[in-house]
Chains A and B, each alone.
Chain A
Amino acid sequence: NAGVMQNPRHLVRRRGQEARLRCSPMKGHSHVYWYRQLPEEGLKFMVYLQKENIIDESGMPKERFSAEFPKEGPSILRIQQVVRGDSAAYFCASSQKETGSGGEQFFGPGTRLTVL
């Protein structure tokens, strides 16, 4: 059973371009979470999705950022018109059930975004 897959592992973009980060959850997991880790800082929650639904996006900036988890295919975190401050490691996690029920989150290896 493959773990959480993220691609690309490294992404370089120039200011103003778009960044698309992909996450395939573990098989059988229907809950996906995105986190951002800035250099020398902790993990910050961004968004929680279930298939075709955004459940909680309270940690995601209102502008330029969007996320989806379609019925088929991976979850996508999209950043439009990137700025240097978006440079960070973006981690995706998945769980089989809501964490509140005792289901731990399984993290992917992350995508390291560098904005030039």
Chain B
Amino acid sequence: SQKIEQNSEALNIQEGKTATLTCNYTNYSPAYLQWYRQDPGRGPVFLLLIRENEKEKRKERLKVTFDTTLKQSLFHITASQPADSATYLCALDKNNAGNMLTFGGGTRLMVKP
């Protein structure tokens, strides 16, 4: 069956360090992968989309890599700040038909000042 796995344990890091979050998937052949941020009591907010033919994508302090051989995406936040503390979700389109995002369980990031 199709699975998307993210580390369910919270990631605690010191302000200024780089946070790296992992998203692994099985039984998918995604054309793209998305990352979202979710704060408590709020809906997810889109951050980045990376396509299968892109190895890496950057947006300000964010960097996403996508390895279709390893079936893994890494999400990096450089120079992390306490305001980056949130739950980060990766998402795949189930059948690349543009109709259904399947989300991982999310990883909670805590950045300590």
Contact = CB atoms under 8 A, between A and B. Distances in A.
B113 interface: no
A100 B44 contact: no
Given A42-B104, A43-B89, A107 B45 contact: yes
A1 interface: no
A105 interface: yes
B102 to A, nearest CB: 6
Interface in A59-116: 59, 91, 93, 97-110
B96 interface: yes
Interface string A40-56: 01111100100000011
B42 A110 contact: yes
Interface residues of A, number: 29
A43 B34 contact: no
B97 interface: yes
A46 to B, nearest CB: 9
Contacts of B45: 107
Given A42-B106, A102-B49, A107 B101 contact: no
A109 B41 CA distance: 8
A99 B98 contact: yes
Contacts of A35: 101, 103
Given A100-B96, A104-B49, A105-B46, A42 B105 contact: yes
B62 interface: no
B100 interface: yes
Contacts of A108: 43
Given A48-B100, A99-B98, A99-B99, A104 B46 contact: yes
8 contacts: A33-B101, A35-B101, A42-B103, A48-B100, A99-B34, A100-B32, A100-B98, A104-B46
Given A48-B100, A98-B97, A99-B93, 8 more contacts: A45-B100, A58-B100, A91-B43, A99-B98, A100-B98, A107-B44, A107-B45, A109-B43
Q: Which 9 A-B pairs have the closest CB atoms?
A: A98-B98, A100-B98, A107-B43, A104-B46, A42-B105, A43-B103, A48-B99, A56-B99, A99-B98
